[in-house]
């Protein structure tokens, strides 16, 4: 006779996740998406607005240079001036070739960039210089025109 030993049976559980674990993961992903998607949309809008600011960068330098040389803002903004005609040739991914203009009506002068595509379609970013105390140089530029402050480029804040 053979001696029979006691056999041990080990219960092996099914590998997998419980319903509560799956619900926790879905909740975490939902919370992350609720935070990340609006932040990403603000980032995209700010990048598109930055393109407009960069398009106007050369004009800002030219206006500042001509102003320090004694050229009046009114003559810079005339439709036949070299600055006004060069502004009309600037274009980008979100701005058409005729979307950039120089205007001296709101004193002293302003650069307007009209968005043709993207998040800001139909909006206008307006750049206006601030003169120093002696009014002989441009001290800074002020941005306006975009409703949401989060959509303004970093250089405009």
From edge to edge, which strands make up the β-sheet containing 100-103? 100-103, 110-114, 124-131, 138-144
Domain range annotation of the chain: 19-156
Task: State the pLDDT at residue 33.
Answer: 93
Q: What pLDDT sits at residue 154?
A: 84
More confident: 19 or 147:
19
Per-residue pLDDT at 6: 63
Beta bridge partners of 138: 131
Instruction: Find, among 76, 102, 106, the residue nearest to 88 by Cα.
Output: 102
Q: What is the mean pLDDT of residues 10-17?
A: 71
Distances (CA, A) of 5 to 2, 10, 102: 9, 16, 98
Residues 106-130: pLDDT tens digits?
A: 678 999 999 999 999 999 999 999 8
| pLDDT attached to residue 147 | 81
Specify whether the CB–CB gap between 110 and 127 falls below 8 A: yes
**Residue 11: is its pLDDT beyond 70?**
no
Mean pLDDT of the chain: 87
* C-alpha pair distances (Å), 47 with each of 33, 54, 84, 130, 134: 21, 10, 25, 24, 35
Gap between the Cα atoms of 120 and 95, Å rounded: 10
Q: In this predicted model, which residue has the larger pLDDT, 26 or 151?
A: 26
């Amino acid at each position: 006779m053979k001696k029979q030993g006691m056999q041990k049976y080990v219960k092996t559980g099914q590998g997998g996740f419980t319903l509560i674990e799956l619900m926790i993961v879905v909740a975490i992903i939902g919370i992350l998406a609720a935070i990340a998607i609006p932040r990403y949309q603000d980032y995209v809008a700010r990048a598109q607005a930055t393109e407009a600011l960069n398009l106007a960068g050369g004009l800002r330098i030219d206006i500042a240079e001509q102003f320090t040389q004694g050229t009046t803002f009114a003559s810079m903004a005339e439709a036949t001036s070299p600055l006004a005609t060069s502004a009309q040739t600037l274009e980008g991914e979100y701005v058409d070739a005729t979307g950039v203009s120089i205007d001296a009506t709101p004193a002293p002068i302003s650069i307007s960039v009209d968005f043709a595509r993207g998040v800001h379609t139909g909006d206008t970013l307006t750049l206006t210089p601030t003169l120093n105390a002696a009014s002989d140089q441009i001290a800074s530029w002020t941005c306006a025109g975009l409703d949401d402050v989060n959509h303004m480029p970093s250089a405009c804040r």
